[in-house]
Amino acid sequence: MRISIIKDLASLLYEDIHKRNKTTPFIIFVTFIISFAAARLTVIILPGVSIVIRDYHIHHFYYGIALISAAAWIGLVSSKERLHRIGSVLFGAGLGLVTDEIGLLLTCNSEGLNCNYYARGSFDFAVFLGLLFLMIIYFPPFWQRMKKRVGRAVVGRIKR
């Protein structure tokens, strides 16, 4: 049973991701989800743990920007597939960290610094980005199949 599930997943990964050249968006999607979940769980499980340098709290938003910048640099200067995959991992991880802080960034005001880390905007944006990556990865074949099915249905009705 377990072996057939692993074979099915490997086949799905090959047919839907690798064969259609969607490896990069898939890697970004997976690392984005892992990074967002890890950042959120870390803050929930270890609420008092933070990096403070000279009375400045360094949020993981900055780490995310650094990872996205490194990924952009790799994408611009390299033509090697292995480095592009590393850049995809860095980009997805950075995007997850930045997305986790979106609620905090949007709700923070300068009067008393009343910031809400747990604002719903972070989750909404994470869901939006996750669905966007799923659309990029899976929707082209879906629309191609739908086009064929609708075309067959329309042709079938016209012949009657």
Confidence of residue 96 (pLDDT cuts 50, 70, 90): very high
Long-range contacts of 18-23 (CB under 8 A, 24+ apart): 20/140, 20/141, 22/136, 22/137, 23/85, 23/88
Does residue 53 belong to any structural domain of this protein? yes
Does residue 153 belong to any structural domain of this protein? yes
- Does residue 158 have a pLDDT over 90? no
Query: What is the overall mean pLDDT for the chain?
Result: 81
pLDDT of residue 98: 92
Name residues whose C-beta falls within 8 Å of residue 132's C-beta, 6 or more positions apart in sequence: none
Domain range for residue 52? 24-159
pLDDT of residue 19: 67
- Does residue 152 have a pLDDT over 90? no
Does residue 13 belong to any structural domain of this protein? no
Does residue 7 belong to any structural domain of this protein? no
Does residue 16 belong to any structural domain of this protein? no
Does residue 4 belong to any structural domain of this protein? no
Does residue 8 belong to any structural domain of this protein? no
Is 149 or 69 the better-scoring residue by pLDDT? 69
pLDDT of residue 94: 96
pLDDT of residue 112: 65
Confidence of residue 82 (pLDDT cuts 50, 70, 90): very high
pLDDT digits (tens, 9 = 90+) for 100-148: 888 887 777 766 667 777 788 888 888 998 888 888 777 777 777 777 7
Number of domains in the chain: 1
Name residues whose C-beta falls within 8 Å of residue 126's C-beta, 6 or more positions apart in sequence: 36, 96, 99, 100
Q: Is 92 exposed, middle or buried (0-12, 13-18, 19+ CB in 10 A)?
A: buried
Does residue 56 belong to any structural domain of this protein? yes
